[in-house]
Amino acid sequence: MEKVYLDSAATTQVRNEVIAKIQDCLVNCYGNPSSTHSFGRSAKTRIEKARKTIAKQLNAKPSEIIFTSGGTEADNMILRCAVRDLGVKTLITSKIEHHAVLHTAEELAEEYSLNLQFVELDEEGTPRLEHLEALLKADDSKKLVSLMHVNNEIGNMIDIDAFAQLCKEHEALFHSDTVQSVGHWEWDVQKTPVDFLTAAAHKFHGPKGVGFAYIRQDSGLRPLIFGGGQERGSRAGTESLHNIVGLEEAFILAYEHLDKERRYVSELKYYFIERLKQLFPDVKFNGASALENKSTYTLVNVCLPFSVEKAQLLLFQLDIKGIACSKGSACQSGSSAGSHVLTEVLCEEDLQKPSLRFSFSMYNTKEELDYVVDVLKEYALS
């Protein structure tokens, strides 16, 4: 096999239907959505249709959906505006959040002299609900909690309903980075009392450079970006219409095929896990990534029993063989620093071994996974 792509947690292959929608929009709907002539009105109509589509699936109001350039902007916007506008004095998160949350939290703590606190992790690396409850009870300060639904490196999932309900009971604001979750799991923001969610189209077979924030109505947030009155005054800047249309199509298709594709991808994941166990009896799976009821079906993080020497060249050797995976999140791959997530969940001995994130999609096959296992076996014996 020439190419095997197992890095869908970094970005997904764009569906052909999405490409067709984007192309049609670029050719036939190129007006500025803020213009009042027919070209502009046509563009504006497409944006509002996309907003309603997303809102309906999430059981939200269309006015609660704000289009952004992606998950990072949405996370930054929500955290920064909540602290600036809502009187937040205590920011609670975890040390395994995506850096879009973690680094923003650190900056805000310094800028606003916030009390920055971290929820303890259990033995598998999942934030502990009991410790969050203790932090919420500690004092009467206005609190904002930010915990991701699905961890982008080890796949651990929190019980989002329980965490959201706990925050509501203690009158704390609750934000969840759901970039690895939207498009892969069902959502109902009336059932799950979150205040803020974030999503990125390229995680569910849409285009890069577009996402959205869910911001509960009457939250009190003011804009982060000022200029025109786009996005109902919440985010200035001419909307990326073709990307929004692509996001909508990807979103529709993700939920139309969710059950079928989830079964298929889950089967791939656990087939791969069993093949690795057969080949490497000492293999370990980081976090809860191999546990069906505690992790997402889209990825597994593997700690391979290789020597330090072999570990140094493993990712390079896989790339030579046409296999794409990741040693951490794509956002970190250019850094010489190790994964901050694995640093929190692994012992010192296992940190010296190679850990790889393999992430799957409907475009993968068992034959591809067999090829990857064969390449790993060949490298282990070389």
Rounded distance between C-alpha atoms, residue 266 and residue 144, angstroms: 34
- Inter-residue contact 114 to 83 (CB < 8 Å): yes
Tell me yes or no: is domain 16-256 CATH 3.40.50.11540: no
Rounded distance between C-alpha atoms, residue 174 and residue 177, angstroms: 10
> How many beta carbons lie within 10 A of that of residue 204, not counting itself?
26
Rounded distance between C-alpha atoms, residue 77 and residue 264, angstroms: 35
Rounded distance between C-alpha atoms, residue 188 and residue 55, angstroms: 10
Which CATH topology does 4-12+258-381 take? Answer: Aspartate Aminotransferase, domain 1 (3.90.1150)
What does the pLDDT read at residue 327? Answer: 86
Residue 276's H or E segment, with its range, is helix 258-279
Six-digit token string for 359: 């992430």
What does the pLDDT read at residue 7? Answer: 98
Active site residues: 331
What does the pLDDT read at residue 328? Answer: 59
Rounded distance between C-alpha atoms, residue 367 and residue 289, angstroms: 22
What does the pLDDT read at residue 337? Answer: 60
Enumerate residues 6+ apart whose C-beta is below 8 A from 362. 257, 261, 264, 265
- Which DSSP state fits 26? H
Sign for the pseudo-dihedral over CA of 125, 358, 327, 184 = negative
Residue 69 corresponds to which amino acid?
S
Mean pLDDT per 10-residue run, the chain (382 residues)? 93 98 97 96 98 98 98 98 97 98 98 98 97 97 98 98 98 98 98 98 98 97 93 94 98 98 98 98 97 97 91 92 82 61 94 94 98 96 88
Question: How many residues does the structure list for the chain?
Answer: 382
What does the pLDDT read at residue 139? Answer: 96
Residue 145's H or E segment, with its range, is strand 143-146
Domain boundaries, the chain: 4-12+258-381, 16-256
- Which DSSP state fits 224? S
Termini Cα distance of the chain: 20
If phi > 0 it is left, if psi is from -120 to 50 it is alpha, else beta; for residue 244 that is alpha
